[in-house]
Amino acid sequence: MFEHPSLAARPVYLDHNATTPVDPRVAAAMHTALTGDFGNPSSAHAYGEAPRLLLARAREQVAALVGAHSREMVLTASGTEADALAIRGAVLARAGSMFGRPHVVTQVTEHPAVLAACAYLHRWHDVAVSYLDVDRRGRLDPGHVRAALTPSTVLVTVMHANNETGTLQPIADIAEVCRSRGVLLHTDAAQSVGKLPVDVDDLGVDLLTLVGHKMYAPKGVGALYVRDGVRLEPLLGGGGQERGLRAGTESVGLAVALGAAADLSGRALATGEAARLAALRDQLHTELAYRLPGRVHLHGHPTHRLPNTLNIRVDGVSGPDLLAAAPDVAASTGPACHNQDHRPSSGLLALGLSRQLAAGAVRLSVGRWTTPQAIGTASAALAQAAALGPGPEALPPRSVAVPPGPSLPGQDGDWTDIPRVRAAARRRAS
């Protein structure tokens, strides 16, 4: 397996929950769309035909990844926009036909985009919002959702996978509760789509957010699944693009990139990618626990979690200090949107951790180009940074079997001109 050109001769990248490198195959598909078919997909003449077909194909690919129909996918510029369209759009679409004050249910460890959308509704539209607690492993009890519902509840919004700990929520069980009361359910699945199989019918959701840069597409593109029959008030008015739910001329290049990324993710999952990621995650945990005996503690659920995510603390060292002392590892102490803020994560505090313990958290997330050798390098560097443990010597043989990584094109050197362009840019900078 070839190393990704963006990762060569650089620190071991273990921050895939923050963002992923663009897959060269995705970049190639996007480049073709940008340079070959520039027309407006809404144009009736010949220049609009090819972009329109590309847009339709991309929508089909994204829909297929989550088991939806293409007409149910709304393309957006980000996961944040998709969350806002789902939450604000669903509530405002129903609010005008209701008596009394609309009500939304969410939980305390949600992504800031969800919490911001709920806060907006409360501030500007007097919507009541209930914030439910999670247990010490980060899971929400569906029974607590049932108890929180009122006759005025319009929407429940609960993330599929936590962006810090990787803990998976019992979305299908929550969906049953919502259906029994006629309440819409939205889930932010930005972290789970592409890392494990996700099907909207299996989950039972009405609205689902996904985002490109978490699954090897560029930043600036996401999508919202909207189940047939669900009404939304659009955030942006104007043209009739995206079935009237998202005005603005579509970026065909970004849509093609998202579609290509979705297709590649589906293929990878079908050939065991989730198991490969889980094996690497567990290898990292095993090696760190061996090198730092008794000092490594897991945050989040030990089994109901993303296959790629390991959130731990190491006794005796804070998360920021640990990573600062391990420059050969690129990881984070929490969400990228808050990573310059070294205060303990509110999401970890919600698990019942003290501020001191939460300040020790480090999030390590593996991805498509992570190898067992990289895991060994990273575990040695982190152990040395913690200034304790056996050090970087080889470990005894482990029983963890890591399946081979994804088969990628380019073994004959066909990686486009990305490395050459980057090398030239570095020369100019120096």
Residues designated as active site: 337
User: Which stretches within 96-231 are classed as H helix?
Assistant: 112-125, 142-148, 171-181, 200-203
Question: For residue 340, how many other CB atoms are within 10 A of its CB?
Answer: 6
H-run or E-run covering 259: helix 252-270
Instruction: Confirm if 83 and 209 have CB atoms less than 8 A apart.
Output: yes
**What is the Cα–Cα distance from 201 to 195, expressed in whole angstroms?**
18
Task: Render the burial of 203-229: b for 16+ CB within 10 Å, e for the rest.
Answer: bbbbbbbbbbbbbbbbebbbbbbbbee
Per the DSSP assignment, residues forming a β-bridge with 361 are: 313
Instruction: Confirm if 364 and 310 have CB atoms less than 8 A apart.
Output: yes
Nearest by Cα to 20 from 259, 211, 216, 220: 216
Nearest by Cα to 314 from 336, 337, 287, 341: 287
Dihedral (Cα; 416, 419, 421, 423), 10-degree rounding: -160
Two tokens, residue 60: 């089909």
**What is the Cα–Cα distance from 341 to 320, expressed in whole angstroms?**
10
Q: Looking at residue 72, what DSSP letter applies?
A: G
**What is the Cα–Cα distance from 403 to 275, expressed in whole angstroms?**
8
Q: For residue 195, with 0-12 CB atoms within 10 Å meaning exposed, 13-18 middle and 19 or more buried, which class applies? A: buried
Q: Looking at residue 42, what DSSP letter applies?
A: T
Helix axis angle, 252-270 relative to 24-36, nearest 10°? 150
